[in-house]
Amino acid sequence: MSLIWTHHALDRLKDRKLARDLVESTFAHPDEKKAGKQRGTSEFIRHFGRQTVTLIAKQNERGEWIAVSCWIDPPFVGTRDDRQRQAWKRYQHAPWWQKLLLGLGKQLRYLFLGNS
């Protein structure tokens, strides 16, 4: 079995500093396979020590597997996923007034800078 990679999945590999062979190994020998959240998708999950690689894939009409997205948890240090995870932890432990300010700042950034 082989995977056909979408541009989105390849971008996620690069953004998340995730090795393609780890994801292909997850696909070939998953510890767990279950139905994905989106209709027609499957989640392939494999544990590598304390990290877990997840691949979201679906089959096309010819039965070929298409890689839709992939990630590693916990994320590698310095990646966007890691920064988002750290921000969420700070938000969870912040007092109510700081949560209000953080939410306001996020809305202003979205208004002026777009979804980046």
Across 4-10, average pLDDT: 93
Q: Has this prediction a pTM greater than 0.85?
A: no
Question: For residue 58, what are the domain limits?
Answer: 3-73
Average pLDDT, the chain: 91
Question: Is a pLDDT exceeding 60 seen at residue 91?
Answer: yes
Specify the residue for token string 């989640």: 43
Residues 26 and 41 in one domain: yes
Q: How far apart are the first and last CA of the chain?
A: 36
Residues 56 and 89 in one domain: no
Q: Is 66 left (phi over 0), alpha (psi -120 to 50) or beta?
A: beta
Residues 87 and 60 in one domain: no
Question: Is a pLDDT exceeding 90 seen at residue 22?
Answer: yes
- pLDDT band at 115, cuts 50/70/90? low
Q: Residue 86 has what pLDDT?
A: 92
Residues 85 and 48 in one domain: no
